[in-house]
């Protein structure tokens, strides 16, 4: 494998991991009765539509069929990819939900 092929594999692997992170985010939103696109736009209001988010949102399942995604898991995954703005908005949503439970 030459350097160009190795570079392409790294790019492809990162893209696949990024898609998985977005899917985890989208499913977490569904599990918490939130619209992933609405939560995303709170963090990145100037980005407009995110086609990968739309694509990954289509792969989510109803919350009754989904496994639980721990809040800390989602926040860790977002942080790994440098999505601090989105992690901040998710943290606010977590706090809102905790207030509703009280």
Q: Where are the domains of the chain?
A: 3-101
Q: What does the pLDDT read at residue 82?
A: 92
Residue 78 and residue 90 in contact, taking contact as beta carbons nearer than 8 Å: yes
The candidate with the shortest Cα–Cα distance to 54, out of 37, 31, 32, is 37
Q: What is the pLDDT of residues 70-101, one digit of tens each?
A: 999 999 999 999 999 999 999 999 999 988 88
C-alpha 89, offset from chain centre: 11
* pTM of the model as a whole: 0.90
């Amino acid at each position: 494998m030459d350097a160009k092929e190795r570079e392409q594999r790294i790019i492809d692997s990162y893209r696949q991991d990024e898609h998985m992170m977005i899917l985890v985010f989208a499913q977490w939103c569904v599990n918490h009765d939130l619209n992933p696109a609405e939560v995303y736009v709170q963090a990145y209001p100037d980005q407009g539509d995110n086609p990968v988010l739309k694509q990954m949102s289509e792969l989510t399942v109803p919350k009754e069929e989904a496994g639980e995604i721990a809040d800390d898991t989602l926040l860790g995954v977002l942080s790994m990819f440098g999505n601090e703005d989105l992690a901040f908005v998710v943290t606010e949503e977590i706090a809102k939900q905790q207030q509703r439970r009280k």
